[in-house]
Chain A
Amino acid sequence: MRRSPVLVYCTLIAAIAFSAFPLYWLFVVATRTNDVVGDWPPPLLPGDNLGDNIARLFAAEQANFLTGLINSSIASVVVTVSVVFFSSLAGFAFAKLKFRGRNALLVIILATMMIPVQMGIIPLYMIMVELGWQNELQAVIVPFLVSAFGVFLMRQYAERAVPDELLEAARVDGCNTFRIYWTVVLPALRPGAAVLGLFTFMATWNEFLWPLAVLEADNPTVQFSLRQLSTTYYTDYTLMFTGALVATLPLLLVFIMFGKQIVGGIMEGAVKA
């Protein structure tokens, strides 16, 4: 199957340039001053104002950007660990264990993926009032500790990635079910779990409507901070771009750290999918 490699490379590099452009442009504007806004042609090379802009970002009173970063980091890590754990546990059960009501329960989980999220705000807020969690970080963590998407994904994954013979062998060895999960299933699921982990981290990091509803500006998440930034300092474009850039960096970091494993994970998981 020979095709001109030059052509293939060029197409791929073009696709990646296209993929990376918004991120790059975010970076360019974040290194400039407000003078360039509205200019045509737009600036395409970085300036030297990034340090200044970052200093202004963290000094912006209304945004509480540092608190936002810390809160989002905590929430994203806790939610990610929990979702990966509970999803792989339930996914394994749905894929490999026999029990009454299995299919019915699976259908319920699938249906919950179809609920539009925006509507839950008021009833969810009522629960938070009952719990006394208004403006508390756990309000943006606890409701998201499990995920229907996660269970579904891990079920699809476990079906193929965990061979039945392996489970049989472990059972003959006298392992109980949880130990089988812990020593046999979880390692086999690792690449899929990495994908789910990245997705969950991103989703939690990017969550906006609910934090805005239940938190206040003095205790925000990073997206809430960004929003305060863009509505309070709306005349300051470079500040907004710097905020968006800094808010993306942690995701990039997570991505680079797990990048290779994740790429592998998506590919293995998809074979059967």
Chain B
Amino acid sequence: MTDLRPRTAERTGKNSDVTPPPRRRLGDFLGRMDAKWSPYLFVAPFFVIFGIFGLFPLGYTAWVSLHKWSMGGSGTFIGFENYVELFDDPDFWNATINTLGMLVLATVPQLLIALVLASLLNHGLRGLTILRVGVLLPIVTSVAAVGIVFSQIYARDVGMVNGMLGLIGVDAVDWRADKWSSWIAISTMVNWRWTGYNALIYLAAMQSIPRDLYEAATVDGASRIRQFWNITVPMIRPAIIFTVIMSTIAGMQLFTEPLIFGQGSYAISGGSLRQFQTLSMYMFEKAFRDFEYGYGSAVAWMIFVLIMLLALINFLIMRKGK
């Protein structure tokens, strides 16, 4: 398909004087068709495959969410009843708060540490490539491996963190028993995984800042910390916004880390009082453990709506910044 047209187009373009009129008209025609339809052709594969494997599940989930759908698989249409029930469901709101809380705990320190790391890496040091590759190691470590290692690290009786706390005389913490402790533990897993990646994004942005800005500031006697806040941060703002949006979307769908952190056969509940159950976990519990597939689908749609809302807020802030 693409074999034939380039050659024709090329010839008509280069030898327009010599080419006989009919060919030229054909060439123009192909050229116009190319300009008009190529963009659609280029984006079509995405939409075709997504339409089959993405859109159908989305629509199907919406349809199921309007049904009472038990293990028997016979759905009864109940309109928006699942959604009404959802608004009265303390477990749903608990999961929403947990998700947002861990989102903050996992995003803010992650991006701040990444900023600091980036500014440290932004020196003409020897062995920089090794250091840069080094901070990327966590994202290569497979999720299952991360889970196994961290559940050992945060074990109450035989875990490393409690062991070290014991050395300095602090009582062992039951990391799964409280919201604050479980949120910290889970956020640590997330932060550990993604900080290096964000640091490199910032580093790249920092390297494009013109040197003379700093030199002028130094002449004016601005301290290094002032320079960092007044020059570096504003200059890399687009990169920061990009990472905030990506972290938000990932954070709203947080599932694997808390699931691995919670142990035993009912780990999906995220702790005895659902201390660290996220929205995705709640959805999964309702749909695949309580076998209330319709209700679980309603939760899925609420997650979708919430992420849209957050993305919109992000977007508005971004616009205002411009």
Contacts and interface: CB of A to CB of B under 8 A. Distances in A.
Interface of A: 1, 3, 5, 8-9, 11-12, 15-16, 18-20, 22-23, 25-26, 38, 40-42, 86-87, 89-90, 92-94, 97-99, 102, 105, 109-120, 122-124, 126-127, 142-143, 145-146, 148, 151, 156, 172-179, 181, 202, 205-206, 208, 223, 226-227, 230, 240-241, 244-245, 247-248, 251-252, 255, 259-260, 262-263, 266-273
A271 B39 contact: no
Contacts of B192: 18-19, 22
A115 B43 CA distance: 20
Q: Which 5 pairs, one residue from A and one from B, show the smallest C-beta to C-beta distance?
A: A174-B13, A267-B204, A120-B57, A119-B300, A143-B53
19 contacts: A19-B135, A92-B42, A93-B38, A99-B40, A109-B46, A110-B311, A114-B252, A127-B52, A148-B46, A174-B9, A174-B12, A176-B6, A176-B31, A179-B6, A230-B144, A247-B142, A267-B207, A270-B201, A270-B204
Contacts, number: 264
B149 A26 contact: yes
A218 to B, nearest CB: 20
Contact of A118 (B42, B145, B283): B283
B158 interface: yes
B160 interface: yes
A205 B144 CA distance: 11
Contact of B38 (A97, A109, A227, A245): A97
Interface in B91-129: 117, 120-121, 123, 125, 129
B244 to A, nearest CB: 11
A223 B144 contact: yes
Contact of A16 (B42, B134, B238, B283): B134
A112 to B, nearest CB: 6
Contacts of A268: 204
A11 B134 CA distance: 13
Name the prevailing secondary structure of the A interface residues.
Answer: helix
B135 A114 contact: no
A260 B45 CA distance: 31
Given A1-B224, A8-B125, A176-B9, A273 B201 contact: yes
Contact of B34 (A145, A156, A176, A266): A176
Contacts of A267: 200-201, 203-204, 207
Name the prevailing secondary structure of the B interface residues.
Answer: helix
Contacts of A241: 148
B273 interface: no
A90 B11 CA distance: 27
Nearest to B241: A273
Interface residues of B, number: 98
Given A89-B42, A114-B304, A115-B54, A122 B204 contact: no
Contacts of B261: none
B136 A12 contact: no
Contacts of A117: 253
Contacts of B52: 127, 143
A269 B242 CA distance: 11
Given A11-B120, A127-B52, 11 more contacts: A16-B137, A23-B137, A87-B46, A99-B36, A114-B252, A115-B54, A142-B49, A148-B50, A206-B144, A244-B145, A247-B144
B43 A5 contact: no
A263 B132 contact: yes
A263 B129 contact: yes
Contacts of A202: 139-140
B49 A270 contact: no
Contacts of A244: 142, 144-145, 148
Contact of A205 (B120, B142, B283): B142
A23 B145 contact: yes
Contacts of A38: 158
Contact of A119 (B31, B49, B117, B287): B287
A97 B42 contact: yes
A87 B249 CA distance: 19
A118 B56 CA distance: 14
Contacts of A105: 43, 47
Contact of A146 (B45, B56, B120, B146): B45
Contacts of A23: 137, 141, 145
A205 B56 CA distance: 25
A5 B123 contact: yes
Given A18-B192, A206-B143, A271-B204, A124 B137 contact: no
Nearest to A241: B148
A173 B205 contact: no
Contacts of B61: 119-120, 123
Given A99-B40, A260-B133, A86 B120 contact: no
Most buried by A among B14, B145, B146: B145
Contacts of B121: 12
A273 B46 contact: no
Most buried by A among B35, B132, B139: B132
Contact of A15 (B35, B135, B141, B203): B135
B5 interface: yes
A11 B42 CA distance: 46
A146 B205 contact: no
A157 to B, nearest CB: 11
